[in-house]
A and B are shown apart, each in its own frame.
Chain A
């Protein structure tokens, strides 16, 4: 039963998220709003129900498997990918390296500043 209760909670939040996304016509995917709904609910409730933790963490443990069906869809776009193969390859490598470097730099700099200002704040 915990699995069913947890799953219902997750799907319920997703449902509310979809409703919000369609109803308010905001350009954000429904599940993302569902995640916000769940986060808000958890903050109000004050703890994570055991049933929810079981199904939620179970899903997240196999998160990588869930990407596979969509990834296989690349076979449909083989032509598009082949046409822009170099562009895609160079963009992926250079942009990922830049993103890593900038994020690490900004965060460690701000963090050191925060620590230097003292632990009192």
Chain B
């Protein structure tokens, strides 16, 4: 029997989609475990941790991003149907949404205008590159929608996705502190605020540490913000002449 040299075997395997798919899942499991060990701190979010682990692994193994993505695209593809699935929690809370429609819509518009306006304003003021600026703009929207928007307005989708993830962890770290400072105790307001500013991360955080009511409102805010920003942002960038 002929035993193939290990390095040859690795050359064959490292280009195989199986390796990146497996590495992504294993990194996510390891990151979730590490985060639990550290007491679930939002500063070391499992997603950020998995990305760091994976980038380290790819650099060490000498695999470039296009090769990695050939395998990881199977996970990435599910973002589309997951975005569609956001209609389910939205439908579940339709009654409450109808009752609070005006405060919800106005707060959502105010939040989006603040998020997009202050982001574009601050970044432009400090002289960011145009691609960075346009990739930063949709950062408070959940990733699948943000990537679509970034593509529409001329940003870089994968950079936008990364910035969205960073925003999520910043929001989880700052949110509870700011809400306490402003003496906001109503869980529906807490949840809605976290979902608007920190999308999926904020939603997960609400379910875990505030309660089901806050979680439901965070999910609603996430879906609504994604939807409204998709319509509002191309309009705002056109108006500001970018």
Chain A: interface residue total (CB-CB under 8 A): 72
Which of B115, B129, B148, B226 sits near A83, CB closer than 8 Å? Answer: B129
Give chain B's interface residues, CB within 8 Å of chain A: 24-25, 27-28, 46-48, 50-51, 54-55, 58-59, 65, 68-69, 72-73, 75-76, 78-92, 94, 100, 102-104, 106-108, 110-111, 114-115, 118-119, 122-123, 126-129, 131-132, 136, 139-140, 142-145, 147-149, 151-152, 156-159, 161-167, 170-171, 174-175, 178-179, 182, 184, 186, 188-190, 192-194, 196-198, 200-201, 204, 223, 226-227, 230-231, 234
Does A90 contact B126, Cβ atoms closer than 8 Å? Answer: yes
Give the distance to chain B from A83, nearest Cβ to Cβ, in Å.
Answer: 7
Kindly identify, within residues 75 to 100 of chain A, every residue whose CB is under 8 Å from any CB belonging to chain B.
Answer: 75-77, 80-81, 83-84, 86-88, 90-100
Distance in angstroms between the alpha carbons of A32 and B79 in the assembled complex: 11
Does A99 contact B230, Cβ atoms closer than 8 Å? Answer: no
- Closest chain B residue, CB of each to CB of A63: B200
Does A17 contact B84, Cβ atoms closer than 8 Å? Answer: yes
Q: Which 7 A-B pairs have the closest CB atoms?
A: A29-B148, A73-B158, A69-B72, A107-B107, A56-B85, A110-B103, A103-B111
Does B73 contact A69, Cβ atoms closer than 8 Å? Answer: yes
Hey, what's the 0/1 contact readout for A97-121 against B, CB within 8 Å counting as 1? Answer: 1111111111110110010000000
Give chain A's interface residues, CB within 8 Å of chain B: 7, 10-11, 13-14, 17, 27-32, 34-39, 42-43, 48, 52-53, 55-57, 59-60, 63-77, 80-81, 83-84, 86-88, 90-108, 110-111, 114
